[in-house]
Each structure stands twice: as structure tokens, then as C-alpha cells.
Chains A and B, each alone.
Chain A
């Protein structure tokens, strides 16, 4: 029932598909802002009413995480992503015919947003199924889709708008989003063929059934909880600086195009930083302690924000944008990799859904809180200080807690080896030593790509994922 992930071969095609899917999921809600002014005029709404379209889309994409996870647990990544692509397409095509802002909320925000949710999570999940030794690189490359797609979609949207108007653009964007189906087609199921749900004894079924669809036992998993708390905290300060970078620049007297260029600098540094971080994170020095590297990049990001108020001229802001892009890329490249590292690829399917729905709240709260700070004090620096402080705090929290976690895991590992020596069990699993690293957690099991869980395998799985009950 276990197999070795290929760490290459068709895996690179999967990475490319994930690149596209992830790219659309993150970049699309931001890129459609180009159409907002026109739609605002046509429907006669205020700017904040229009901005809700993006917020609803983002909220649905993150909030739909658990549903995405359940569906992937049941059907595998490929059908879910293809269906997601169809939803995105249908959503945008319908949006082209909308006659009110409410209809736009539904078509663009909810339908397409949910389609993106069905793209984002399965893409990240399937990387974990195809890669193990090179997983950080694969994650870094796939996550680079976001800045690349944003860089491409922004001018493309402007071009479409100039030539076809907003309705024609939405129509064409609907077709473009159908390319997520192409990405989905690349997500070839791996391992053994999916079975229909196997017949289990009634007792087993009751015990494992709900957990099979969404693994709530994760909330007792020490590593998962550490990740969850740290990330929820981090997201309070993660996105606000990007939202306010251009307005801050204009506030300092910089012209509109130079202000927009700062975001381009950020995106370019970001797209280089992500795969590079993946490579570094994959190296034999960093990978065993990848959680420290992750904590460091969060704190680094926070430090950038804390120092930003010191930048008073355009040059200062350019420097800030470069370092911000670097920090942002580093964090994003490892965002899912570290979760996989903590819970293992199998439980990751459920973990990613649970994490995204909880993060959903803070992601949505971050920019408005920042905006309130700016309006109250009339000064951007408090927003930067708040974001920087929150992220440094999150980074420190994760660093300390993961130090504790690493020690506990090492201790549990020693205990487990000791009991193994005394056990005669021909199903026991040996730890793998490879390049001097030891990580025993990563046996590939289960999920619909492989066999569904049975009770005995459940027990084995618990053993493999570490004695992770807190």
C-alpha cells in the first residue's frame, strides 16, 4: 500500500499544472480590480461595494478549503480540479451578462471563487503525492505561479478591457479560466486505482468515516496546532502592506506610474524568490529544520515592515519593495511545504482545508484593520508597525514552538525505535536514512489515489505520523 513518490518524471508536468492552478487562484482576485472603476460607473456603486467582489472571491477560495479537501479525499485531485475549472469558467461567463452588483458578487465572488478553491487545494495536495525528496523545490516552483500569473494577468486584463469592454473581457476570461481544466488533466492519479468506498464493519465505518472525509483529529496534532496558530497570527499582517504600498507611495508624493512600478518590482523579486527558496529549503542543511527557516522568513518579512517607515524617498521604497518581495516569496514558497512537513502528505489533504478556512478570517481582517489604523492616525506608519510587529511575533512563536516540537519528535522517535526492537512485527517500517537526514513520517499511504483506509492501516498510519497526540 505504500509507494515511492517519483520525485520527477511526470511530476514536473504536475508541477506545471499546479503552477497554472495556483497562479489563477491567487492572482485572479487581484487582477480583476482593473475592471472595477468601469463597473463602478456602470452600476453606480461606491468603491467599497465593488471591492467586495474581490473580498468575496478570496473568502470563498479560502473558505471552500474544507469542501475541497473532502472532495479530494473522496475523488482525488484530478476530477476536483477539472470541475473547479468548469465552475470558474461558468462563473465568469455568467458574470459577463450580469445586470447588478449583487449578481456579480454571486457569479464572480461565489461561483468562480469556489471554482478557484477547487483548484488551489488539490494542486497543493497532489504535489505532496508526487514529490518527497524534491518536494520543497516542487512547492517553490508551483507557488511561483502566483506572481507570474499576476504579472501576466494585469496587463492582459487592461488589454482586454480596452478592446472588448468589461463584459467582453469577463466572457473571454471565462474561457481563459477553463485552462484550469487542462491543469487538472495533467494531475494524473498516482498509486493504485481508486476504489469505491470499501465495505467495512459497521464499527469501523462509524469510527473512520467522518475522519476519512475530513480528518478532524488533526486538532489534536501538536504540529498542526502550532502551524495553525502561528499562521493565523501571521496572516493578520501579511497582505495589508501590499494593499497599501501604492497608496502609501502616492501619499509620499510619488506619481502613479512609479507607485505601480513598486508592485512590479515586488512581483519580479517574488517570482525569483519562490523557486530559489524551494531549492534552499530542499538542501540537506535546511530541510530537516525547515520550520526554523520558515519562522525566520516570517520574522524577516515583519522586520521589513517595521523598517519601512524609515524609507522616505522613492529609492527607499524601492529597497523596501525588493526586500518585501524577497520575504513574501520566501514565506509563500514554504507555506504549504511546512504544513506537509508537520502532518505528512496523507493528512495534508484534510489539514490544508482546515487551515485555509481558519486563515480565511484573518486574511479578510488584515487589510481593513490596516485601513482603519491609517484613517484613525492619518499616518501609514502605524499600519506598517502593526503588520511588522504581528509577523515578528508570529515568526518568534513558530520558532520557539517548533524547537519544542522538534525535541518532542526526536524523543518520540527514540521511544519508538526502542519499542520496535522488542516487537516482532513484520509490518513495521524502517526509518530511512538518506543524505544523512532522518524523516520517518513520510511513507506514502492512502487517499483515493491509493487505497482507502482500513482499520489496520489506520493504526499503521498513526504510528508513522509520529506519536502526534499532544
Chain B
């Protein structure tokens, strides 16, 4: 009587600093030619051992190491088991501090690539007494969230009210955690001062160049490096000037 092979796995983990997960196959139907460990689509290790027991060292359980691990016994056909390494959400901000211009739209982005995926995102603005929840769908705030990424868009940035720190909270089966993103609003006029400075520089230089030219005009002599040529008359009003130049003419 044939029984299907049974793969026993080590328990699912949510914590640990030196974690090793393992799989154990009983009653393989054909010889074991090797093993493979995969995380999602990525192959982590593989070997050609024939043992019924295979392990993989994860090390510290955290956002990066969390995920779905698959152990595969290379039998014919192959048989596999699954170990889930789960954590509370591990949230990071794309940029710790975002900038926006007054009147423009500010975008704050948080992402979370840990397992299990986020089921809910919430945003708060940090205030001195109690953090203020941000409600989606108003003219001012729009929240776009999609599993592992959440975006808070703040319209018409106000330089008085909007700058500060915001929290994005991500929730999954194991709990909630978040990250802090700072928002700074630049004054609309911030670019004006360098602009005016450069325009002033341009005007001054152009004026200097033209003044220099006018002052040289009366007795202008063009430098002529191949010596011996007569100086040009500059800007003669008489265009009928018969100043035919000939070089080394006989």
C-alpha cells in the first residue's frame, strides 16, 4: 500500500536571534537525490545529499528574513514543505525627511517588505499632546496604500500648519509598527533671492563690458600679432572706405 510521503517542518517562528529551520521527510517514495531551500522565487541553497533531514539557518528573525520558506526534497516527484517566518511589520520611510514647496503637493512614502503583508495602513501627524489621525479622502489628504507601500499626499502645503513629523503605521496579523517621516515646507520665495542675485550679476557684467567698450572706442587699436599690419579703423561711418588689406602684397 502506498502512502504519500510526509514532510514535517520545524515550527513557524516569529522571533529569535539564531534561528534554524528544518524539514524532515518520512516514507519517501523514491531515493532522495538532493535538497533545495527557496524563499518565494529565489533559490537560497541546494545540495545533493541523500538525507531525510535538511536545515537552513536564518539567523536573526527580522523584517528582511521574514517570509515564506520552502524546503524541497529532490525525489521523483519532488516533495516540499513550508515554514513561515512572520514578524510584525517592519516599516521604513523612503526618505526620512521630505521637502515640498508652499502651495505644491507634498508626498510622504512608507514601505514595508516584511511578511506577512500589511493589511492596514494609518497615518498620524505628531502633535505635542496627542497625535492627530489623518483622514483619507479629504481635499487636503489623500492616502494611497497597496500592500507594501503607502503614500500620503498633502495638497496645497501650508508653511505654517503642515511642516512637522508624521507617522505611518502598518498593521498585520502580528501587530502594528510604524516609521516617522519628516516634512519641511519651503517658502515660495526661497528661490527668489538667488534668482535676483544672479540677475544683478548679469546686469552688472553686461554694463561693465559695454562701458569698457565705449571708453576704448575713440582710440581703439586691434592687437595684431603678426606684426607689420596697419591698424584697422574702428567703426568708421564711411563705408566706402577703400582700405583694401593685402597681405605680403608686392
Contact = CB atoms under 8 A, between A and B. Distances in A.
Given A192-B236, A193-B235, A451-B239, A185 B248 contact: no
B248 A430 contact: yes
Interface residues of A, number: 44
7 contacts: A3-B245, A7-B225, A96-B191, A172-B191, A175-B202, A178-B199, A192-B235
Interface string B207-250: 00110010000000011111001001101110101011111111
A187 to B, nearest CB: 10
Contacts of A188: 213
B34 to A, nearest CB: 28
Contacts of A195: 239
Interface string A329-350: 0000000000000000000000
Interface of A: 1-4, 6-10, 41-42, 96, 133, 162-165, 167-169, 171-172, 174-176, 178-179, 181-182, 185-186, 188, 190-193, 195, 198, 427, 429-430, 432-433, 451
Given A167-B191, A171-B191, 17 more contacts: A6-B223, A8-B225, A9-B224, A9-B225, A133-B226, A167-B101, A167-B104, A168-B101, A171-B195, A174-B195, A175-B198, A176-B198, A181-B206, A186-B209, A191-B232, A193-B237, A432-B247
Interface string B6-41: 000000000000000000000000000000000000
Interface string B39-58: 00000000000000000000
Contacts of B99: 162, 165
B190 to A, nearest CB: 6
B244 A181 contact: no
Main SS at interface, chain B: loop
A35 B19 CA distance: 45
Given A193-B235, A429-B246, A172 B195 contact: yes
A461 to B, nearest CB: 14
A192 B209 CA distance: 20
Contacts of A10: 222-223
A4 B190 contact: no
A329 B233 CA distance: 38
A186 B208 CA distance: 10
B149 interface: no
Nearest to B100: A165
Contact of B246 (A174, A178, A186, A430): A430
Interface residues of B, number: 43
Nearest to A4: B229
A162 B241 CA distance: 59
Interface string B100-117: 110011010000000000
Contact of B223 (A9, A133, A176, A432): A9
A2 B245 contact: yes
Contacts of B210: 185
B194 interface: yes
B133 interface: no
A8 B195 contact: no
B209 A165 contact: no
Given A6-B225, A193-B239, A175 B213 contact: no
A429 B99 CA distance: 68
Contacts of B194: 164, 172, 175
Given A172-B198, A175-B202, A4 B245 contact: yes
A7 B210 CA distance: 22
B248 A433 contact: yes
Q: Which of A169, A188, A198, A430 has the most CB of B within 10 A?
A: A188
A432 B226 CA distance: 13
Contacts of A174: 195
Contact of B241 (A175, A176, A192): A192
Given A6-B225, A167-B104, A168-B101, A179 B202 contact: yes
A3 B247 CA distance: 10
Nearest to A170: B191
A3 B244 CA distance: 8
A6 to B, nearest CB: 5
